[in-house]
Amino acid sequence: MEKIGFIGTGVMGTGIIKNLLGAGYSVAVYNRTQAHADAVIAAGATWVADPARLTEQVDVVMTMVGFPEDVTAVYFGEQGILSAVRPGQVLIDLTTSKPALAKEIAQAAAKKQAIALDAPVSGGDIGAAKGTLTVMVGGPESTYQAMRPLFQAMGQQINRFGAAGQGQATKMANQIMVAGTMTGLTEMLVYAKAAGLDLALVLRTVGGGAAANWSLTNYGPRILAGDYTPGFFAKHFLKDLRIALDEAQALGIELPATAQAAKLYQLLVERDKHGEDGTQALVKLWWPTAQD
């Protein structure tokens, strides 16, 4: 069984690493802040001091960091993955990032006779913890098939969409859909409260009909409980929406609803400074204080 190196022990990474350990994989980890890796080290992962040394010790390197610039640093930096990669190694970026960057990593890996997959995931902290993530893969078919057992340790819906960058393109489609469900959930609750409705009963009722969706089921109860802890950071979702809009512009299409969602999340993150909250904190634009 392959030895895995995992870079990024945040909300999502922690759940994935624990599932890899549970499936019997040996996992070495690196994170910019070592203390944030305490939970996975306690679960059986081993700490390595930098990405290059981690790469030297494992068969497969997986990364899940915050922003495209973080991906660039961890792959192309002085002590980055690509400084130590060897022929035959597999590099898998789980970060939601730019399709063009995924292609750049794949090309750089190929020059060193290694293989890179872009494999962004969806499902939030709950999916990461339960091992029920959706995995969207770009890269060679043969490598995808070889890595399926690893993906199956962390996810349920696992599909390849084509060459390098196509996994990231699929994740953009996913985030466009999520933008609609998050704004719909938020405005539904704002309207229902203004109309004097029982919000918990509204959630149960609309969740049983045509309005049912993942955001409503998983984030609606958190909002009613005043729980804005991040299953997925609002600042990272804003980043994703901006990438999606840039990609849409490059394709010559307009996404007005997604553009409006990005404006709302920009207000939440940059004006109101709620970037460290979960995406469900969008309701704070209307309800800045706790609701009864």
Q: Are residues 22 and 136 in the same domain?
A: yes
Average per-residue pLDDT in the chain?
Answer: 97
Q: Are residues 188 and 138 in the same domain?
A: no
Q: Are residues 255 and 238 in the same domain?
A: yes
Q: Are residues 210 and 265 in the same domain?
A: yes
Which of 109, 134, 162 lies at the terminal end of a domain, its last residue? 162
Q: Check residue 1 and give its pLDDT.
A: 76
Q: C-alpha distances in angstroms, 165 versus 5, 137, 221, 241, 267? A: 22, 8, 35, 17, 30
Q: Check residue 291 and give its pLDDT.
A: 59
Neighbours of 195 (CB within 10 A): 8
Q: Check residue 289 and give its pLDDT.
A: 80
Q: Over 60: is that where the pLDDT of 292 sits?
A: no
Q: Are residues 238 and 137 in the same domain?
A: no
CATH, residue 65: 3.40.50.720
Q: How many helices (H) and strands (E) does the chain have?
A: 12, 9
Sign (positive or negative) of CA dihedral 58, 63, 68, 70: negative
Report the residue count for the chain: 292
Tell me phi and psi for residue 190, to 5 degrees.
-60, -45
Q: How many domains does the chain have?
A: 2
Q: Over 90: is that where the pLDDT of 147 sits?
A: yes
List active site positions: 171
Q: Are residues 91 and 140 in the same domain?
A: yes
What are the b/e assignments for 249-274, b being 16+ CB within 10 Å?
Answer: eeeeeebeebeebbebbeebbeeeeb
On whether the CB atoms of residues 11 and 34 are closer than 8 A, the answer is no
- Within a domain: 230: yes
- Within a domain: 123: yes
Q: What is the pTM of this model?
A: 0.95
Q: Are residues 257 and 186 in the same domain?
A: yes
Q: Are residues 191 and 50 in the same domain?
A: no
Which of 162, 183, 214 lies at the terminal end of a domain, its last residue? 162
Q: Check residue 154 and give its pLDDT.
A: 97
Q: Are residues 135 and 267 in the same domain?
A: no
Average pLDDT of 261-280?
Answer: 98
- Within a domain: 137: yes
Q: Check residue 290 and give its pLDDT.
A: 61
For 265, the domain range is 169-285
Average pLDDT of 131-158?
Answer: 98
Average pLDDT of 116-125?
Answer: 96
Q: Over 80: is that where the pLDDT of 190 sits?
A: yes
Q: Are residues 279 and 176 in the same domain?
A: yes
Q: Are residues 213 and 146 in the same domain?
A: no
Q: Tens of pLDDT along 15-74?
A: 999 999 999 999 999 999 999 999 999 999 999 999 999 999 999 999 999 999 999 999
